[in-house]
A and B are shown apart, each in its own frame.
Chain A
Amino acid sequence: MIVNEQVAVDHGLKKDEYAKICELLKRTPNITELGIFSAMWNEHCSYKSSRLHLKKLPTKGKKVIQGPGENAGVIDIEDNDAIIFKIESHNHPSFIEPYQGAATGVGGIMRDVFTMGARPIANLNSIHFGSPQHKKTKNLLRGVVNGIGGYGNCMGVPTIAGQTSFDSSYNGNILVNAMTLGLVKKDKIFYSKAAGLNKPVIYVGSKTGRDGIHGASMASASFDEKIEEKKPTVQVGDPFTEKLLLEACLELMAGDSIIAIQDMGAAGLTSSSIEMASKGNLGIEINLNKVPCRESKMTPYEIMLSESQERMLIVLESGKEEHAKKIFDKWNLDFAVIGKTTRSKKIELYFNEEKVADIPVNTLVENSPMYDREWKKTKLPKKNKIKKEDIKHLKIIDVLKKILANPNVCSKEWIWQQYDHTVMGDTIQKPGGDAGVVRVHGTDKAVAASVDSSAVYCWAHPLTGGKQVVCESFRNLISVGAKPIAITNCLNFGSPENEENMGEFVECVQGIGEASEYLKFPVVSGNVSFYNQTKEEGIKPTPAIGGVGLIKDYKNMITMDFKEVDNLVLVIGKTEGHIDQSLFARTILDEKNGPPPEVNLFNEKNNGETLLKLIDNKLIKSAHDVSLGGIITAVVKMCIKGNKGINIKKPKYLINEIEYLFAEDQGRYIIEINNRDLKKVADILNKNAVHFDELGTIIKNELYINDKTKVTIDELSTSNKSWLTNYMSK
Chain B
Amino acid sequence: MKSSVITFPGSNCDRDMDVALKKFGFKNKMIWHADAELPKSDLVVLPGGFSYGDYLRCGSMASKSKIMQSVINFANSGGMVMGICNGFQILVETGLVPGILLRNKYLEFICKNVFVKINDKKNKYFKNLNNKVLEFHIAHNEGNYFCTQDQLKEIEDNNQIAINYCDENGKIEDQFNPNGSIKNIAGIFNKEKNVLGMMPHPERMIDTSLSGEDGSLFFKNLINNLK
Contacts and interface: CB of A to CB of B under 8 A. Distances in A.
Note whether A and B form a binding pair.
yes
Contacts of A240: 9-10, 50, 52-55
Interface stretch (B37-45, B73-81, B109-117, B125-133): B109-117
Contact of B210 (A149, A155, A239, A428): A428
A425 B10 contact: no
A45 to B, nearest CB: 30
Nearest to B52: A240
Given A331-B9, A427-B210, A428-B210, A418 B110 contact: yes
A154 B210 contact: no
A244 B10 contact: yes
Interface string A410-425: 0000001111111111
B196 to A, nearest CB: 21
A289 interface: no
Interface stretch (B11-19, B63-71, B93-101, B163-171): B11-19
B111 A421 contact: yes
A154 B20 CA distance: 21
A426 B72 CA distance: 32
Nearest to A421: B111
Given A154-B50, A428-B209, A418 B108 contact: yes
Contact of B209 (A239, A332, A420, A554): A554
A239 B13 contact: no
Contacts of A419: 109, 111
B203 interface: yes
A164 B171 CA distance: 35
B223 interface: no
B9 A332 contact: yes
B193 interface: no
Nearest to A430: B211
Contacts of B110: 417-418
A642 interface: no
A280 interface: no
A210 B108 CA distance: 31
Contacts of B209: 428, 439, 554-555
Contact of A156 (B9, B12, B20, B108): B12
Contacts of A154: 10, 12, 50, 53-54
Contact of B204 (A241, A425, A439): A425
Nearest to B215: A425
A422 B12 contact: no
A530 B209 CA distance: 41
B52 A420 contact: no
A243 B10 contact: yes
Contact of A418 (B54, B111, B201, B203): B111
Contacts of A131: none
Nearest to A241: B53
Interface string A368-398: 0000000000000000000000000000000
B50 A239 contact: yes
A418 B109 contact: yes
Contacts of A244: 9-10
Interface string B87-106: 00000000000000000000
A617 B3 CA distance: 44
Nearest to A243: B10
Interface in A131-156: 149, 153-156
Contacts of A238: 53
Contacts of A418: 108-111
Nearest to A729: B106
B187 interface: no
Given A154-B50, A154-B54, A240-B55, A422 B108 contact: no
A423 B109 contact: no
Nearest to A239: B53
A241 B55 CA distance: 11
A425 B49 contact: no
B157 to A, nearest CB: 36
Contacts of B206: 425
Contacts of B137: 422
B139 interface: yes
Contacts of B139: 153, 420, 422-423
B88 to A, nearest CB: 16
A42 to B, nearest CB: 32
B118 to A, nearest CB: 22
A422 B111 contact: yes
Contacts, number: 81
A243 B207 CA distance: 27
A155 B12 contact: yes
Interface string B1-39: 000000001101101100110000000000000000000
A160 to B, nearest CB: 11
Contacts of B12: 154-156, 243, 423
Contacts of A421: 111
A236 to B, nearest CB: 13
A244 B15 CA distance: 15
Contacts of A155: 12
A425 B53 contact: no
Contacts of A156: 12-13, 49-50
Interface in A580-618: none
A418 B107 CA distance: 10
A641 B194 CA distance: 41
Nearest to B141: A153
A557 to B, nearest CB: 8
Contacts of B108: 417-418
B111 A417 contact: yes
A439 B208 CA distance: 13
Contacts of B54: 154, 240
A243 B50 contact: yes
B210 A425 contact: yes
Interface string B133-162: 000010101000000000000000000000
Nearest to A242: B53
Contacts of B13: 156, 423
Nearest to A331: B9
B9 A422 contact: no
Interface string A424-463: 1111100000000001000000000000000000000000
Nearest to B139: A420
A309 B69 CA distance: 34
A159 B66 CA distance: 33
A151 to B, nearest CB: 11
Contact of A420 (B19, B53, B109, B203): B109
A240 B53 CA distance: 5
A244 B20 CA distance: 23
A240 B210 CA distance: 27
Interface string A117-142: 00000000000000000000000000
Contacts of A149: 109
A396 B218 CA distance: 48
Contacts of B109: 149, 153, 418-420
A41 to B, nearest CB: 36
Nearest to A414: B108
Contacts of B53: 154, 238-241, 243
A422 B211 contact: yes
A439 B16 CA distance: 13
Nearest to B204: A422
A243 B14 CA distance: 13
Nearest 4 interchain pairs by C-beta: A156-B12, A240-B53, A154-B50, A425-B16
19 contacts: A153-B50, A153-B141, A154-B12, A154-B53, A155-B12, A156-B49, A156-B50, A240-B9, A240-B54, A240-B55, A243-B10, A243-B50, A418-B108, A419-B109, A425-B20, A425-B204, A426-B210, A427-B210, A555-B209
Given A240-B50, A243-B50, A423-B16, 6 more contacts: A153-B141, A154-B10, A240-B52, A241-B53, A244-B10, A418-B108
